[in-house]
Amino acid sequence: MKKFLCLLLAILMCSSLFVACKPTPTPPENENQDTVPPTERLYLSGVVSDVVFGTQIIRGDKLSTQANEVKCAVELMKAIREKTGTEIAIGTDYSGPYGTPVLDCEILIGNTERPESAQAMEKLNATDKKTDYLICVIGKKICIVAKNDRGLQMAINTFTSKHLYQSDSVIYTSQKLEATGIFTVPEGVYFKVPAAGGSTHKERYDESVATACIQGIMNRESPNKVYVDCNAETAGWLEVLSEEGRWLEDVEWLELTGFEELLTLSKDYIKAVIIWDPNVPATVNVACTMAGVEDGVAMTEQMFDRYEHLLSNDIKLFDLVDKFDGSKTGSAKNDAYVWAIENYLEKGLCSTDFLCSYIDSYSFREKANLSYTVVRDWGVYQRAFVYDLSPWGDEAPLDDPEQDVGLDKQTLLRIYDYMLGATKDTAPFEVCGFFEHQKYSQAGNNSTSTHGTVKTEWEYAALMTPYNGYHNTCIDAAYNESFHGMYDGAKALENNRPDEYIDLEKGVVYICFFMGDYDSTHPVYRYLKQAWDDPRRGEIPFAWAINPNLIDTYPDLIEYYYETATPNDYFVSDASAAGYFMPSRVPDELWPLIAQHNVEYFERADMSIAPMVLDNQGLDADDLKWMIKFAKDGIATVAQNKTYLYEDTVVTALLGGGYDRYDPVVGAQNLEKVVNTQFGKSNSGASLNLLRCVWSTPTVMCEMVEKYQEANPDKEVVVVDIYNYFELVRQDLEWK
């Protein structure tokens, strides 16, 4: 019975191919109708001289329902139906029992098992490299093949619009049909592409690096822009920025299937391929430096072999494999960076506005950790020099234990020294990125290091500051920086100021919440958005700490925060001001440049308070005379616990306790300890508390205050904005 039903189904399917025998509705007029002489026609469906012709669309059997060939087959079926009123069935190339019967006339989509498809692909591959698709007739089979998904879609559109005819109830094409084409993208189209594909961790890592390179080039050079789609990681921002009135509201998106299609559609802008050597992890950074300068793509040998046929004939090829063996410095890692310094940085080919401290492939490639691959578009976009080096001169790094102690630092200072010479008369430079804790500090299982993670962070800041540099630290997984950074429509930002200032009262508990740390791009992109969406934001005042130099990278995001702020949301800088630097380490001759840089960005962000100055030496009068030029309404530090007036500006301490990121009960207990301590430090008998709350939410802060108040019903608690806080401190200093 089962075999009978299957046979009946096969017969019914075959009979459906001859629907042209039935009366058909009058088809819409075809502008190409009857352009092919009857003797040259290949009849697809209908009745000619009492002979019934029927065709079918064939696609590969071993494909998922989401495969591009399946989608194209359905599109073709629908297009023929809409164009002619005729139904054509879709079958597969399965040749086993109960498979689709083979007909004389078929439309073969993509790489089917029919021999004609293989012949068509052979013809396509013999054409010019730039050709994306081929439509041809082999025997009575119409073969539609392509080198990529977009080419196949274009071929389907071309076939139905230009090569499909009808006369009465007869559908036909030309027996001599042979058409090729190149997919061209209209100017102003935005590509949306996945960050990475591949079946292994290494393949995903490698593809993500190459994708980021193309993204940086396209967003800098092409009218067509690239947005990397990382599902939930990026969907929230894309939705926000596509709202009515925002800059992506009317954007035309072209959703790509993956790297191969991106490479195909952007190949006219790719001038070079740089093959990096996984055996020398530093070469991924060297390759990305070169990619920015050469408009190139960083690939491994395996990737290049796979995609070489899609590249232009005149592509420049740079091969870094086996190029660096330690013969110059005693370290293959440092050989690679020294070569890049001499051939790119010191020849003036790289940006003097940015350096990129990007973690190399040493441990990340094995884990498919893409946090420092997706950000590489920014380095390529800016033509920045890219490196990953230890700041310590007293120990070798975990990734290169045999190097001479301090060699990494020596190479790092050579980079900084060049940047100082290039910028000392212009403006400070930004170092984008952080260090890998496990390689250069005691984090993880690194028992070889004697340095803690915070000390290592501070060491980087201390090193770069006297060379005219400042840090933008946590940029891992900061998506689409080159995309967001090209937004140039930002409105003038307007910060909140209090309508009135309150009077200091004895015995009152005053609390001001500094909501940080958003001094770098990743926290602004992810953690701040999570806190911003909290339902209790706006109930009490918060000082949101965003370093204003990040306007360069995420101008649209920062504009969104300002536009959606409640009257209780205030904006201040984070560590240390317009970038993370150490004021005590700024040489006298560089202070005018550093101060002017900060003045400009503070004005753009409408800020006037710097409440988290990080400096392990503390501030002196020489530092403060420059800092009050941009932070005249208040300065707070984390390295000294002293409160005073410098000229007319309050200088005080930012307290690192009094909160709990997740648990308001524990936070209330910590708050009580801090509040009681601060009672004894004021002149007025009040408790003045400027509390640093790292990546916490308004709900936790509100509940913490409520629980503290419940536990201390006899105390008057007032949560104040940061402007009022500094005014209260001023009043306390002048208390009589």
Residue 320 covered by a domain: yes
Please determine, for residue 11, whether its predicted confidence score (pLDDT) is greater than 90: no
In a domain, 487, yes or no: no
Give the lowest-confidence range in 276-285, 411-420, 650-659.
Answer: 650-659
pLDDT of residue 15: 34
Q: Give the predicted TM-score (pTM) of the model.
A: 0.84
Look-up of token digits 């050989």: 335
**Residue 14: its pLDDT value, please?**
36
Task: Looking at the structure, tell me whether residues 169 and 197 fall in a common domain.
Answer: no
Looking at residue 483, what is its pLDDT? 97
Q: Residue 95's pLDDT is what?
A: 85
577 and 693 part of one domain:
yes
- Say if 579 falls within a structural domain: yes
Looking at the structure, tell me whether residues 231 and 317 fall in a common domain: yes
- Tell me which of 147, 181, 215 is where a domain ends: 181
What are the residues whose beta carbons fall under 8 Å from the beta carbon of 12, sequence distance 6 or more? none
User: Which helix (DSSP H) or strand (DSSP E) does residue 510 occupy?
Assistant: strand 509-518
Q: Which among 32, 135, 37, 41 is positioned nearest to 84, based on CA atoms?
A: 32
Q: Assess whether 152 and 225 both reside in one domain.
A: no
**Residue 493, domain member (yes or no):** no
- What is the C-alpha separation between 636 and 626, in angstroms, rounded? 15
* CB-neighbour burial class of residue 401 (10 A; exposed 0-12, middle 13-18, buried 19+): exposed
Report pLDDT digits (tens) over 215-259.
999 999 999 999 999 877 887 999 999 999 999 999 989 988 899
- Which amino acid would we find at residue 627? M
As a whole number of angstroms, the distance between CA 561 and CA 337 comes to 39
Among 77-86, 243-252, 268-277, 533-542, the range scoring the smallest mean pLDDT is 77-86
Query: Which pLDDT score is estimated for 330?
Result: 97
Instruction: Determine the residue type at 92.
Output: T
- Same domain for 230 and 100, yes or no, is no
What pLDDT shows up at residue 617?
85
Same domain as 93, residue 146 = yes
Least confident segment among 1-10, 26-35, 43-52, 347-356? 1-10
| pLDDT given at position 13 | 37
Res 660: pLDDT: 79
State the residue range of the domain holding 77: 12-181
For 282, 328, 424, the CA distances from 409, given in Å and listed in that order, are 15, 16, 21
Q: Is the pLDDT of residue 116 over 60?
A: yes
What's the CA gap between 207 and 196, in Å, rounded?
A: 5
484 assigned to some structural domain: no
pLDDT in the model for residue 440: 96
- Write the Ramachandran bin of 444: left for phi over 0, alpha for psi from -120 to 50, otherwise beta: left
Share of residues in the chain with pLDDT > 70 (%):
95
Is 533 inside a domain boundary?
Answer: yes
Contact 583, 598 (CB under 8 A): no
Instruction: Report residue 320's pLDDT band, with 50, 70 and 90 as the boundaries.
Output: very high
Query: Domain ends where: 162, 181, 200?
Result: 181
Pairing state of beta strands 316-319 and 272-275? parallel
Residues 6 or more apart whose CB falls under 8 angstroms from that of 292 comprise 216, 350, 351, 379, 380, 381, 382, 383, 384, 386
Split into its structural domains, the chain has a count of 3
| Domain presence at residue 621 | yes
Give buried/exposed letters for 607-643 (b at 16+ CB in 10 A, else e).
bbbbbbbbbeeebeeebbebbbebbbbbbbbbbeeeb
Is there a contact between 419 and 465 (Cβ–Cβ < 8 Å)? Answer: no
The predicted-structure confidence for 625-665, as pLDDT tens digits, reads as follows 999 999 999 999 987 788 999 999 999 999 986 677 889 99
Residues 350/382, Cβ–Cβ less than 8 Å: no
Q: Identify the band that residue 53 occupies on the pLDDT scale cut at 50, 70 and 90.
A: confident
Residue-wise pLDDT tens digits, 463-499 = 999 999 999 999 999 999 999 999 987 678 999 999 9
Whether the pLDDT of residue 18 is over 60: the answer is no
Residues 431 and 556 in one domain: no
Q: What are the residues facing 291 on neighbouring strands? A: none
- Contact (Cβ atoms closer than 8 angstroms) between residue 349 and residue 290: no
Whether the link from the prior residue into 576 is cis, omega within 30° of 0, is yes
Last residue of a domain, one of 135, 151, 181: 181
Same domain, residue pair 688 and 727: yes
Shared-domain flag, residues 389 and 529: no
**Residue 77 confidence (pLDDT) above 80:** yes
Residue 6 in any domain: the answer is: no
Residue 451, SS3 per DSSP: coil
CB burial of residue 720 (10 Å; 0-12, 13-18, 19+):
buried
Q: Supply the DSSP symbol for 639.
A: S
Residue type, 244: E
- Answer for the pair 652, 636: CB distance below 8 angstroms, yes or no: yes
Number of Cβ atoms within 10 Å of the Cβ of 246: 16
Predicted confidence band at 406 (pLDDT cuts at 50, 70, 90)? very high
pLDDT of residue 33: 52
Sheet containing strand 316-319, edge to edge, reads 296-299, 272-275, 316-319
pLDDT tier for residue 4 given thresholds of 50, 70 and 90: very low
Confidence of residue 187 (pLDDT cuts 50, 70, 90): confident
Domain harbouring 56, CATH code: 3.30.379.10
Q: How high is the pLDDT of residue 251? A: 92
Residue 399 has what pLDDT?
96
> Residues 157, 233: one domain?
no
When pLDDT is cut at 50, 70 and 90, the band that residue 34 belongs to is low
pLDDT value of position 3: 37
User: CATH number, domain at 671?
Assistant: 3.20.20.490
Q: Look at residue 1 in the predicted model and tell me its pLDDT.
A: 37
Q: Is the domain of 127 the same as that of 82?
A: yes
Mean pLDDT of 363-369: 93
In a shared domain, residues 54 and 201 = no
- Please give the pLDDT value at position 30: 44
pLDDT (mean) for 407-416? 98
pLDDT at 529 over 80: yes
Question: Residues 500-517: what's their mean pLDDT?
Answer: 96
Continuous segment of H or E residues that includes residue 382: helix 376-382
Strands (E), 16-169: 41-48, 51-53, 56-59, 89-92, 106-109, 133-138, 141-146, 165-167
Average per-residue pLDDT for the chain: 91
The residue type found at 324 is: F
